[in-house]
Amino acid sequence: MKASRKILVLGSGFVSAGFVNYFVQHGETNVKLTIASNLVDQAQKLIDEFAPEIGHAIFFDLKDEAANRKLIKEHDVVVSLLPATLHVVIAKLCVEEKKNMVTTSYISSEMAGLDAAAKAAGIIIMNEIGLDPGIDHCSAKAVFDDIHARGGNVTGFVSYCGGLPAPENSRNPLGYKFSWNPRGVLTAAEAPARFLWNGEVVEYDAGETYAHAIPQKQYPGFNLEGVANRDSIKYRELYDIPEAETVLRGTLRFPGFATMVLTFRALGLTDTTEYGDGAAPATWPALLSRVLNVPQDISSLRAAVEAKVQERFAGSQGRVKDALNGLQWFGVFLETTKVDLATRSPIDSLTSLLNAKLVYGKGERDLVILTHEFTYQLPDQPRSHGATGKQRKTSTLVLYGDPIGSHRALTAMARCVGIPCAIATHLVLDGVITRTGVCGPMTPDLYKPLLASLAQNGIHLDEFEEDVVES
Ligand SMILES: *[C@@H]1O[C@H](CO)[C@@H](O)[C@H](O)[C@H]1NC(C)=O
């Protein structure tokens, strides 16, 4: 029998449930899990539901360095599922205590700065091993390396990922539901974006990215839009595909999301400035009156809102109508729609409204979709009549969550983020992953065992290939 191995999991959100469940499913009775959280009741509930045999909950305070050092010392590997900005504090302790660490977050420059120290300590700080980043990196990098190994060139890479409600649970103006704080989703939608398209750099300013949503045709049965996500161009280097003329990473949404996000912004509802006197307006009409600087009567409010929406959508009547119907659905013109008085700025008040209206109900499911499209050229490619000599490979993952409220229910997002992270942790514990330093899953020693284990755990991308007929 193997000696017992101790995993410290920081954070008790839904991803932690996906993580813990993996080890329970594998019957890993010699693995002991500690879930450390500032919400110790939430952690205990998670243990009771998912891992009563192998887990226990403990209170955790990021500021209590002495306690955290002791906790880290007592474990073999540390998994941080905390908000990304909090990883570095933990990573520094892991370096000092020579303990391996795993996160699902993008590598921040502060984290990258720990690379030499981590190598000197002989530990790995493995990051970017959730869904995106995570499964997307592993699956894309495996294809790039294969094309290069066959002497080919990658000419294009277009990748979209989205966490959505199941289509039958998407009936609201955004076609979207929140399983965590909407503020992050709203802030992400405000970000500028840049990508490479047929050799040209395309850039969208902050707040404008969602004005360029592109209908997606991957599946006739899914009505999807894709929106560019921040800086795609740096992935030419990160993925080592300098020859690529198209590089675009984006987010998938159902139609309606882009229109409503643009509408909220046009009305000033994504403004982060605190209310002047510190107090939120009592009702939504009062809030609209304040942000639009018009009297609070219904006809003034409607006229001001319609003018902003007409301007935003340049008079495109379909979108203007969708926007106005959407606002109506949220009840923003009704005195009975109260503003959450604990909120301090328009974006916080909006976040609170979205949180209240766009929740998953009992029995509803979420959905994760990941799609990659690779275009590439291999040496001595036979050119059939009319073909360009280029080939296209499409890889897709579509995964549904369990109905909310059922016993041991896991959302698709909890699975798609928690399982890769758990697999990486398992491979580190088993000594299959031996690399040291700060890294993501970009190299074959990491992505090969990760992809193999993901497939064994029901997460694999369907692939198909075709010739590109027109360029
Ligand atoms: C790949 O690109 C290089 C540089 O442009 C070119 O010389 C080579 O022929 C290309 N290979 C294929 C298979 O198209």
Answer yes or no: is the C-beta of 379 below 6 A from any ligand 1 atom: yes
Q: E strands along 280-431, which residues?
A: 366-377, 390-400
What is the Å distance from ligand 1's center to 137 Cα? 24
Q: Which run of H or E residues covers position 35?
A: strand 31-37
Cβ burial, residue 10 (10 Å; 0-12/13-18/19+) = buried
Q: E strands along 134-245, which residues?
A: 153-165, 193-197, 200-204, 214-216, 224-228
Which residues is 376 bridged to in the sheet?
A: 154, 391
Distance CA 355, CA 178 (A): 7
Is 132 tagged catalytic? yes
**Please, are residues 248 and 210 in contact by the beta-carbon 8 Å criterion?**
no
**Please, are residues 416 and 458 in contact by the beta-carbon 8 Å criterion?**
no
Give the residue, by CA position, lying nearest to ligand 1 atom 2: 153
Distance CA 261, CA 270 (A): 9
pLDDT at 185: 87
The answer for residues whose C-beta is within 8 angstroms of residue 208's C-beta and 6 or more apart is: 192
Torsion of CA 101, 107, 111, 115, to 10 degrees: 70
Which of 150, 245, 377, 390 to mutate for ligand 1's pocket (most ligand atoms within 8 Å of CB)?
377
Structural domains in the chain plus CATH codes: 5-130+412-456 (3.40.50.720), 135-256+362-406+460-469 (3.30.360.10), 260-354 (1.10.1870.10)
What is the Å distance from ligand 1's center to 147 Cα? 12
pLDDT at 184: 86
Q: Give first-to-last CA distance, the chain, whole Å.
A: 59
What is the Å distance from ligand 1's center to 151 Cα? 8
What is the Å distance from ligand 1's center to 141 Cα? 19
Residue among 48, 132, 240, 340 flagged as catalytic? 132
Answer yes or no: is the C-beta of 381 below 6 A from any ligand 1 atom: no
DSSP three-state, residue 155? strand
Q: Which amino acid is at 355?
A: N
**Please, are residues 366 and 399 in contact by the beta-carbon 8 Å criterion?**
no
Give me the tens of pLDDT residue by residue for the chain, a chain 471 residues long: 456 799 999 999 999 999 999 999 988 778 999 999 999 999 999 999 999 999 999 999 999 999 999 999 999 999 999 999 999 999 999 999 999 999 999 999 999 999 999 999 999 999 999 999 999 999 999 999 999 999 999 999 999 999 999 999 999 999 999 987 788 889 888 999 999 999 999 999 999 999 999 999 989 999 999 999 999 999 999 999 999 999 999 999 999 999 999 999 999 999 999 998 778 999 999 999 999 999 999 999 999 999 999 999 997 999 999 999 999 999 999 999 999 999 999 999 999 999 999 999 999 999 999 999 999 999 977 665 556 778 999 999 999 999 999 999 999 999 999 999 999 999 999 999 999 999 999 999 999 999 999 999 999 999 998 888 764
The answer for residues whose C-beta is within 8 angstroms of residue 390's C-beta and 6 or more apart is: 155, 375, 376, 377, 381, 467, 468, 471
pLDDT at 387: 66
In this prediction the pTM is 0.94
Give the residue, by CA position, lying nearest to ligand 1 atom 8: 153
Q: What is the DSSP letter of 339?
A: -
pLDDT at 1: 47
Number of other CB atoms surrounding residue 385 within 10 Å: 5
Q: E strands along 192-322, which residues?
A: 193-197, 200-204, 214-216, 224-228, 246-253
How far is C-alpha 191 from the geometric centre of its chain's CA atoms?
A: 14
Distance CA 25, CA 368 (A): 21
Distance CA 253, CA 49 (A): 31
